[in-house]
């Protein structure tokens, strides 16, 4: 299992400072042995996510790191020109020494589509078309008029990850031999509001495995919210503030903090609290990559750095992870 750090770049500071802090967090994760780092893409709404240009940001981070793999989680592919994505990713992969991972998805914010000249209702069809073009480009196929991608990037065919909330999406990723990306939380079905995240994601994983070509290596990322602090009281103070900021994709349920933590699949507390909580999630037994983010708790930057340290030194090893390398660990 690989260990990853994920950020939506939501620190309560101006955009430029968000980027500086996120880069520092990724550098810190690398120093503590994390295998991967992922950034989300969001357009227009800084309260939802602070980064519209993930490949640009990752180019900056690549120059400040040497080992950690760098991924998009995700590029909203219907809102992009796919040949340009293929070109930018090809160049960035060379600059990183082959460290790029490309997560793609159909997008989640309907209001973002209009400025790009698209209707959100058409997202599935546009996504399928753009993904096909991306694969053709990295496969070295003729893109029209005898033109083929330069620089060539066949390696990126094995670096594609598809994010999905649905069984159909899991099957699609499996058939393509791509990686599967599972969300940190999902809305509960109207007919089963008490369903656990594992209940919802199990059929997605089943569909992925059922459709994976014979001999293909499964690749499954599970993103999870995990905020680890030196005391449970400190962790809960941050959770109380973060879960009340209105950044969640659906309304908070009525009830106390414990109810909200459970409803939005947050793993929070001391290292042992988080270890126990994660061990209760059977989905994690089937994944190849466990990726942690602090959203929607979003604690202050120094506490994010401390959480990274505790995840790497106490939580992840208890779940079976061991670092391949440590470089320049602070202190």
Mean pLDDT of 319-323: 94
Tell me what pLDDT residue 29 has.
98
Query: What are the backbone angles phi and psi of residue 205, rounded to the nearest 5°?
Result: -65, -40
Q: What is the pLDDT of residue 188?
A: 86
Whether the predicted pLDDT of 254 surpasses 90: no
> Above pLDDT 70, what percent of the chain?
95
- CA distances from residue 67 to 24, 38, 221, 303 in whole angstroms, order as listed: 15, 14, 19, 24
283-307: average pLDDT: 96
Residue 324: pLDDT band with limits 50, 70, 90: confident
- Is a pLDDT exceeding 70 seen at residue 81? yes
The region of weakest confidence among 44-53, 269-278, 318-327 is 318-327
Distance (Å, rounded) from C-alpha 331 to C-alpha 329? Answer: 6
Q: Tens digits of per-residue pLDDT, 35-51?
A: 999 999 999 989 889 99
CB within 8 Å of 112: residues ≥ 6 apart? 42, 43, 44, 45, 76, 79, 120
Residue 303: per-residue pLDDT: 98
Is the pLDDT assigned to residue 253 strictly greater than 60? no
Question: CA 7, 10, 16 angle in degrees (round to 5)?
Answer: 100
Q: What is the mean pLDDT of the chain?
A: 94
Tell whether the model's pLDDT for residue 4 goes beyond 90: yes
Question: pLDDT (tens digit, 9 = 90+) per residue, 222-252?
Answer: 999 999 999 999 999 999 998 876 554 455 5
% of the chain beyond a pLDDT of 90 = 86
- For residue 187, the model assigns a pLDDT of 86
- Separation between Cα atoms, residue 302 and residue 144, nearest integer Å: 50
> Which three-class secondary structure state does DSSP give residue 291?
strand
- In angstroms, rounded to a whole number, what is the distance separating the alpha carbons of residues 79 and 99? 24
Is a pLDDT exceeding 60 seen at residue 76?
yes
Instruction: Give pLDDT, residue 27.
Output: 98
Residue 243: its pLDDT value, please?
Answer: 86
Mean pLDDT, to the nearest integer, of 278-288?
96
Over residues 265-291, mean pLDDT: 97
pLDDT of residue 325: 64
Residue 248 has what DSSP assignment? Answer: S
Global confidence as pTM: 0.94
Whether the pLDDT of residue 14 is over 70: the answer is: yes
* pLDDT score at 252: 55
Q: Range with the lowest mean pLDDT among 80-84, 249-253, 284-288?
A: 249-253
């Amino acid at each position: 299992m690989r260990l990853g750090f994920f950020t939506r770049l939501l620190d309560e500071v101006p955009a430029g400072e968000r980027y500086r802090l996120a880069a520092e967090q990724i550098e810190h994760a690398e120093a503590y042995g994390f295998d991967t780092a992922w950034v989300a893409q969001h357009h227009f709404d800084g309260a939802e996510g602070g980064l519209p240009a993930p490949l640009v940001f990752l180019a900056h981070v690549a120059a400040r790191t040497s080992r950690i793999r760098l991924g998009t989680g995700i590029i909203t592919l219907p809102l992009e020109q796919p040949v340009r994505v293929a070109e930018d990713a090809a160049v960035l992969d060379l600059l990183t020494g082959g460290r790029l991972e490309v997560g793609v998805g159909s997008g989640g914010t309907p209001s973002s589509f209009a400025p790009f000249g698209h209707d959100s209702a058409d997202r599935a069809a546009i996504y399928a078309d753009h993904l096909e073009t991306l694969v053709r480009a990295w496969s070295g196929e003729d893109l029209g008029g005898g033109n083929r991608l330069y620089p060539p990037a066949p390696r990126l065919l094995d670096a594609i990850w598809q994010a999905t909330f649905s069984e159909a999406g899991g099957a699609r990723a499996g058939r393509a031999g791509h990686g599967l990306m599972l969300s940190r939380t999902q809305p509960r079905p109207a007919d089963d509001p008490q369903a656990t995240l594992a209940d919802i994601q199990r059929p997605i994983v089943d569909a992925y495995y059922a459709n994976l070509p014979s001999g293909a290596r499964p690749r499954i990322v599970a993103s999870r919210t995990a905020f680890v602090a030196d005391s449970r009281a400190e962790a809960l103070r941050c959770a109380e503030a973060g879960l009340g900021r209105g950044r969640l994709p659906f309304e908070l349920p009525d009830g106390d903090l414990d109810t909200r933590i459970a409803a939005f699949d947050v793993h929070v507390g001391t290292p042992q609290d988080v270890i126990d909580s994660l061990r209760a999630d059977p989905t994690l037994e089937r994944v190849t990559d466990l990726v942690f983010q602090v959203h929607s708790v979003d604690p202050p930057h120094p506490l994010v750095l401390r959480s990274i340290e505790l995840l790497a030194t106490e939580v992840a090893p208890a779940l079976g992870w061991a670092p391949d390398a440590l470089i320049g660990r602070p202190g």
